Amino acid sequence: MIRISVPATSANCSVGFDTMGLALDWRGMFLFEQADSLRITGCPEAYAGEDNLIWKAYLTGCEAGGFSPDPLHIHIESDIPFARGLGSSATCIVAGLAAAWEVHGQPAPRHEILALAAGMEGHPDNVAPAIFGNLCTTVMDRDQAVMCATDMSLWHALAIVPENEVSTAEARKVLPATVSLKEAALQAGRAALFVQGLERGDQQLVCAACQDVLHEPWRKALIPQYSRLKDACEANAVPLWISGSGSTMLAISRDRSQLESMQAWVRKEMGLDSRLTNPDREGLQIFHE
């Protein structure tokens, strides 16, 4: 049996639209073993067939690696919520791709998996941290992934998870087709400051830079709780962003107790579920049993 563990991720990271993603130590576990026919357990029956994303990623990996795909029993153990902006699809894609090599007795090639996963996902911001951990900034250049990871060991995180789902397709529809040169320059500057602030552990700088102009001004309308949370966080110099397409919002702080107080507040005042977590530094993990 092969056990593959993949972290949840928070994509876009405010000013890193489609390029930045943060791994969280909130993990999905995927078990693979050879079988006489395809069998998928641990998910709703509607997703337990050949159109399952894990199985499709496995087939993609087999094709890339030159392997003949074997029937598998795939068992899923994950409480990462679906359609909440926490990279649930990225965990499935990364696990399935990695399994293609591991099932056939070869170590999973992380950088090749990144390129394949970005192709399946459509952009690399979720899949890169799912593979490599920490905060990853990634761009695709002629189908090649160019990536740099930023150590996040100084930070803690709070994932605030509303009940309503937001589909990626729905969130894409509300975005503008073009942006001005002024907005592009402003976003580029803030993105550079954002990463510098994270590396230095400068929470004030990160909070000041955490002001997106590309997607959050439009997507916040899909998340009724966003504006109140953003105002409360800015008043306390806590960086907050829409995680992926939403509806989850992610707050980070150097001080875990600050996030514990925030967690209590959002539960009492807004009735929202949340989860204290830390940035994950390991990324994709594979165990043979």
Determine the average pLDDT of the residues in 29-41: 96
- The answer to whether the annotation marks 48 as part of a ligand binding site is no
Q: What is the pLDDT of residue 1?
A: 94
Output the CA–CA distances (angstroms, integers) from residue 226 to 85, 101, 154, 261, in the order listed: 14, 41, 25, 18
- The answer to whether the annotation marks 229 as part of a ligand binding site is no
- The answer to whether the annotation marks 96 as part of a ligand binding site is no
> Whole-prediction pTM value?
0.94
Place of tokens 């309503």: 164
Domain ranges of the chain: 2-151+280-288, 156-277
Sign of CA dihedral 17, 18, 20, 25: positive
**Nearest CA among 272, 268, 282, 12 for reference residue 158:** 272
pLDDT of 52-62, one tens digit each? Answer: 999 999 999 99
- The answer to whether the annotation marks 99 as part of a ligand binding site is no
Which letter does DSSP use for residue 68 in this model? P
Assigned architecture for domain 2-151+280-288? 2-Layer Sandwich (3.30)
pLDDT of 130-189, one tens digit each? Answer: 999 999 999 988 878 899 999 999 999 999 999 888 888 888 899 999 999 999 999 999
- The answer to whether the annotation marks 115 as part of a ligand binding site is no
pLDDT of 87-128, one tens digit each? Answer: 999 999 999 999 999 999 999 999 999 999 999 998 899 999
- The answer to whether the annotation marks 244 as part of a ligand binding site is no
Determine the average pLDDT of the residues in 214-239: 95
- The answer to whether the annotation marks 162 as part of a ligand binding site is no
- The answer to whether the annotation marks 68 as part of a ligand binding site is no
Sign of CA dihedral 137, 186, 242, 205: positive
Output the CA–CA distances (angstroms, integers) from residue 64 to 34, 58, 98, 122, 126, in the order listed: 20, 10, 11, 17, 21
CATH no. for 156-277: 3.30.70.890
Q: Which two tokens stand for residue 189?
A: 């500057």
- The answer to whether the annotation marks 5 as part of a ligand binding site is no
Q: What is the pLDDT of residue 134?
A: 98
Query: Is pLDDT of 261 > 80?
Result: yes
